[in-house]
Amino acid sequence: MAALAYTLAIVFAVILLAVLAVSFYFYRIAIARTDKSFLARNRDLLTEEPSLVTEALDWLDTQPLEQVTIRSDDGLQLQAYYLAAPAASSPTAILVHGYSGHARQNAAFARFYHEQLGFHVLMPDNRGHGASEGPVIGFGWLDRKDQLRWIDYVLQRSGPQTEVLLHGISMGGATVLMTSGEALPPQVKAVISDCAYTSVRDQLAYQLKRMYHLPSFPFLSSTSLLTKLLAGYSFREASAVNQVRHAKVPILFIHGTGDTFVPFAMVHALYENCASEKELYIVPGAGHGMAYRTDTDGYRQAMEQFIGKHMTPSPEQALQ
């Protein structure tokens, strides 16, 4: 009997150590600020045409970008690029990039907001990305508080009469949705979320099965506990679905039916749970983060109609 108990204890310890080792591995590749080049091999992530990306970045390089910084609630220095509109009284679009990305990847949207809509544009590097500090990736949950700081920055810069729009892609889309559930100043008039996930738990459970062919239990729970201890948040609490249930600002949800990285079905869960005024724009066949490139004209029209309902036209728009 004692021998059986000893054997079971050894088996249990081996299993526990294995789960712990796997949890540290997944924490390192998903949460810690480490190289994410493995994503380049992911079959669910289509890349944009290099010429299209280059054209937008070339345009951005000709603009009078300012590098601006703020401090997060937990003391990190966060950086963003600011592009001023011709009219000081113009509204501001805050553009939020995705996982393992950086601010300049929003160059195409920056160009549209700036040239076509006459907006000021603010493009932050999320914590743990680009030139912003941070040892971990917040998956939108830590970033939602950073967005509140960036909104404060915009209001201090442009004055209390300004209007603000939040627009995010992928993790950025989840970030702006998580931000929507916070107590926002009245100047925040609209949110646009493109290909966002419902929660960090749902997204990582999906990827754990799709990329590694592993079940959620026990690895997701153990990695979530480790993330809570080391990064300050759990996967379950980092929920865009829960946040949109408290949203008061109008939200435009966008997703492509061909998205197999953040499953298309997630947009319906987000839309159905949203408590505020809402719209849904679906792009047939678009892969992850590719809705704008797949149907540029339709995407822009959906944006302009939504913005026209909820925001005052910029001085430049009013003259058109």
| Residue carrying structure tokens 């754990």 | 208
Three-state DSSP state, 241: helix
H or E element, residue 69: strand 66-71
What local confidence, expressed as pLDDT, does residue 42 receive?
85
Domains along the sequence of the chain with CATH:
42-199+238-319 (3.40.50.1820)
What local confidence, expressed as pLDDT, does residue 318 receive?
60
Euclidean distance between CA atoms 63 and 143, whole angstroms: 27
How confident is the prediction along the chain (320 residues), in pLDDT tens digits per residue? 677 666 656 765 666 677 789 899 999 999 999 999 888 888 888 655 555 678 999 999 999 999 999 999 999 999 999 999 999 899 999 999 999 999 999 999 999 999 999 999 999 999 999 999 999 999 999 999 999 999 999 999 999 999 999 999 999 999 999 999 999 999 999 999 999 999 999 999 999 999 998 888 899 999 999 999 999 999 999 999 999 999 999 999 999 999 999 999 999 999 999 999 999 999 999 999 999 999 999 999 999 999 999 998 877 666 55
End-to-end CA distance of the chain: 86
Amino acid at 86: P
> Hey, what's the torsion of the CAs at 274, 169, 147, 91, to 10 degrees?
-90
Those residues whose C-beta lies under 8 Å from the C-beta of residue 85, and which sit 6 or more positions away, are 114, 118, 119, 120, 121, 314, 316
Euclidean distance between CA atoms 253 and 267, whole angstroms: 7
